[in-house]
Amino acid sequence: MTAVLAGCGVTGGDGDVRLTLVAADYDLAGGDSTEKYWAGLTAAYEASHPGVDIDVRIESWNDVDRVVAELVDAGKAPDLAQIGAYADHAAAGRLYSADELLSVPVQANFLAPLISAGEMRRVQYGMPFAASTRLLFYNKKLFARAGVAKAPTTWDELADDARKLKRAKVPYPFALPLGPEEAQAETMMWLLSGGDGYTDDTGRYVIDSDANVDTFRWLKTELVDKGLTGPVAPGKLNRKAAFAAFSRGEVGMLNGHPSLMKEAAKQGVDVGMVPLPGRDERPRAAMGVADWIMAFKQNGHRREAGDFLNYVFSDANVLKFAGDNDLLPSTVSASHAMEDDPEHKALAPFLKALPDSRLYPVGKTSWARVSDTVKRNIGRAVEPAGSPDAVLATIGRAARTAEDAE
C-alpha cells in the first residue's frame, strides 16, 4: 500500500517549512491503522506549530527501504524515514546524529540496548521507533494432551517435551522456521540460546564459532533428525507459515513475538510464554528487534526535524503506537507506563526481556549482506545430509569478507 496522508492540515497550508516522512506500514491486516496514527500525530503537531507542514508517505515493509534508497539516489531524500536499517545512510554521511536532533532528556530515555544498536562508531544515528523481543511460545492444550506438565528450561527438557508431543500426534512438536523469510531471526535466537551470537564483544562476526556450530549440531541431531520439527523441512518453513500453523493449533512449541500472541488468542489457542531455554540454563540474553527512524541532511531541516522527533518520542505517542501494534516502547518511561497498565499485562514477559536483549548488528554496513547469506543458506545446516560445520564455516567466511569491505 502506498498512501500520502492528506487533510487535517497535513499536506496543505502556507507553512514556512514542509517536512517529508516515509514510514513503514505496520497494519498486518491490510487496513489503515498506520495511516491514521501518523495523520493524528501530525495534525496535533501542526496545530501547535503553524510554521511547519508534514507530508507522510506510507509504504509496505516489502518496499519501504528500497523506496527510501531510490529517493536518496535520485537526490530527493526525505527529511525523515522510518524504516528497517540506517547503517548505509549513516556511513555515507547522509544522516544527522541523534544528538544533533533530540533534546538530552529524550535521547537519554531510549532503552540501553536500543541506543547501542542505533550507533555507528559510537555515534547514534538510528533512533529506535518500536521494539519487540522473542519468547518461546507453547500450546497449553497440546502440552496437557502430551502429558507435559511445565514449560522447558533446558535444551534437554525441550527435546524431551518435543518427543512427548510427537507421540501425542502433534503435527509440529517444535516448529523451526529456517526458511528465507526470517531465518536470520530464528538463527540468532538459537545462537544466543547456545551462549554466543552473530558477533563477539568487539563487534566482529563469529558466526562459525565453536559454540554456534555446536548449537546447530544439536538442532540437527536432537530435533530435526528425530522428526520433531514437523512435516515441512526447516529450510523450507517460513515464519509466516509456522505462525499460522501455531494459530491453527498444530504446533506444540515455537519462538514467537507479541503479534503472534494476539492472533493465536483470536483462534482460541491457550498460549504459554517463557524465555527460550539455554543449553543447561537460561541464556544470557533474549533477542531484541527494533525499527528505526532517521533524519536526512539533504534538505537542511535539522531544527524542524529535531523538534518534530522530540514530539514523536513523547510517552503518549510512543505508547499509542506500541499498544496499537502489539509492539514494545523504545523508551524507558513509556516502558514503565506500559508495565503499570493492566491493559498490557500480556506483554509483561516481553517487556521484562527487552532491557537485557541483544539486537542484530545493524550498525554494521555489512549486516544486510550477511543477513541475506544466512537466510539463503542456514537451512542447509540441518538437512539430512547437511553439515552444520561446513555451512556455518561458509557463512562465516562470507561474513568476514563483507566485514573487511566495510
What is the pLDDT at residue 31? Answer: 79
* C-alpha span between 366 and 400 (Å, rounded): 9
Model confidence pLDDT, tens digit, residues 323-361: 999 899 999 999 999 999 999 998 999 999 999 899 999
* C-alpha span between 259 and 243 (Å, rounded): 10
Asked whether the domain spanning 135-285+366-404 has the same topology as the one spanning 3-133+288-356, the reply is yes
- Long-range pairs for 151-158 at CB < 8 Å and ≥24 separation? 151/272, 151/274, 152/253, 152/274, 152/277, 153/274, 153/277, 153/281, 153/282, 154/277, 154/278, 154/279, 154/280, 154/281, 155/193, 155/218, 155/222, 155/277, 155/278, 155/279, 155/280, 157/277, 158/253, 158/277
H or E stretch including 43? helix 33-48
Q: How far is CA 299 from CA 20, 49, 105, 305, in A?
A: 10, 19, 26, 10
Domain 135-285+366-404: CATH superfamily is: Periplasmic binding protein-like II (3.40.190.10)
Model confidence pLDDT, tens digit, residues 205-229: 999 999 999 999 999 999 999 999 9
What is the pLDDT at residue 29? Answer: 67
Model confidence pLDDT, tens digit, residues 152-178: 999 999 999 999 999 999 999 999 999
Amino acid at 258: P
Model confidence pLDDT, tens digit, residues 24-46: 999 866 779 999 999 999 999 99
Model confidence pLDDT, tens digit, residues 130-144: 999 999 999 999 999
Nearby residues of 213 by Cβ (< 8 Å), 6 or more positions away: 388, 389, 392
What is the pLDDT at residue 11? Answer: 35
What is the pLDDT at residue 124? Answer: 98
* C-alpha span between 286 and 399 (Å, rounded): 22
- According to CATH, the topology of domain 3-133+288-356 is D-Maltodextrin-Binding Protein; domain 2 (3.40.190)
What are the extents of the domains in the chain? 3-133+288-356, 135-285+366-404
Task: Work out the percent of the chain whose per-residue pLDDT is above 90.
Answer: 88
Question: Does the structure show a pLDDT above 60 at 280?
Answer: yes
Pairing of strands 127-133, 135-139: unpaired
Question: Does the structure show a pLDDT above 80 at 281?
Answer: no
What is the pLDDT at residue 364? Answer: 96
Question: Does the structure show a pLDDT above 80 at 12?
Answer: no
Query: Which 3 state secondary structure label does DSSP give 57?
Result: strand
Cα angle 119, 121, 124 (rounded to 5 degrees) comes to: 25
Q: Are 59 and 23 in contact (CB under 8 A)?
A: yes
Q: Which residues share a beta bridge with 130? A: 291
> Mean pLDDT over residues 285-313, rounded?
96
